[in-house]
Amino acid sequence: MEPGSFELLKVVGRGGYGKVYQARRKDDGQLVALKVVTKPTKTIEVKHMDDERKVLETVKSPFLCEMFHFFETSDKLYLVLEFLSGGELFTLLNKKRRLDEEATKFYVAEITLALEHLHDSAVIYRDLKPDNVMLDPKGHVKLTDFGLSKSNVPRGELTSTFCGTMEYMAPEIFSQAAYGHSIDIWALGVVMYDMLTGGPPFHGRNKTELVEHIQNGKVRLPTNLSVDGKILLKRMINRKPEKRITTDEMKKHAFFRSINWSKLEFRDIDPPFKPNLMNSEDVSNFDKCFTSLSPNESPTKDVNTEKPIHQENEPFANFDYNGSPIKEKVEVETKTKSNA
């Protein structure tokens, strides 16, 4: 596997790490997401990249993005991931502004199953937010971007690295206290609030005010939320980690009494929104600020000519990975796009 094995089609994501492309494998025409990362040089960045690779290699779940291959060149790392044409939950929220309680319940339930798989595998996600919740062609949830995830932390054990996205970080992280898996539940509570109201519960004119609000501010519960929903949300956004609800307790909570968890686990429940796709290459569910970019821009302008290397004395030696065979193309119903 090498960069020249892929034809770049569209940019579908970008960050400080590099870019994510919709790409086509030349040998079989399969669409994939190709994440191209400039090799980090700082020790902590190398560790984050290693953690992401380990999570993608070892934790398998229908609610987690799957990695097919991982390889490197002299200055870049390449992750070959499944292409999720439904785009980000963030984009859906931008279109809908807010979701009703039933739709919110579905997404929170599927994310709960994703977190349960991670926690059972001794992984703390640490970066749950709408941007990292992807939707597959049928509208089911898949978590992605495990660069901040912490592996080898069994339930009940703690870690202490300061990281995450501020609006979704639990208060104990800002207190520089050791924390555990419950920070992911806090983040899910914030995402739930975000879906119901159109924005997170904590705000500030600057970072200091935001942190103060997260640690001490009053949370105004959505007025249109059911009593069971309010009880659940208060248990998720609880400033005392030991009193925060767990994934197992969430599955038994009255708010989810209408959810058949066995059927949900097998994705036998229809999502509230099915992505409107004209064909398998449709990228309309991704932000236009990404899809309008040229797919040949830096940092991967040499993506079709650069040769892979493998040197034992480099920090990324032994990173090459051939995982699951790339799945057959997903059948997508041809629809006429709405103007919405």
Active-site option among 51, 127, 145, 194: 127
Start-to-end Cα distance in the chain: 40
- Tell whether omega for the bond before 325 is within 30 degrees of 0, i.e. cis: no
207 is known to lie in a ligand binding site: no
Measured distance CA(107)–CA(256) in Å, rounded: 11
42, 48, 50, 55 alpha-carbon torsion, rounded to 10°? 180
> How many other C-beta atoms can be found within 10 angstroms of the C-beta atom of residue 14?
16
Query: How many Å separate Cα 250 from the centre of its chain?
Result: 20
Measured distance CA(46)–CA(287) in Å, rounded: 28
Element at 261 (helix H, strand E)? helix 261-265
Specify whether the CB–CB gap between 326 and 52 falls below 8 A.
Answer: no
Measured distance CA(76)–CA(281) in Å, rounded: 25
Which residues are bridge partners to 22 per DSSP?
Answer: 10, 33
> How many other C-beta atoms can be found within 10 angstroms of the C-beta atom of residue 32?
21
Residue 191, phi then psi, degrees to nearest 5 = -65, -40
Q: Is residue 127 among the annotated active site residues?
A: yes
In the chain, the largest separation of any two C-alpha atoms, in whole Å, equals 59
In the numeric block, which tokens belong to residue 182?
């419950």
Task: Name the binding residues.
Answer: 35
Residue list for the binding site for ATP: 35
Catalytically active residues are 127
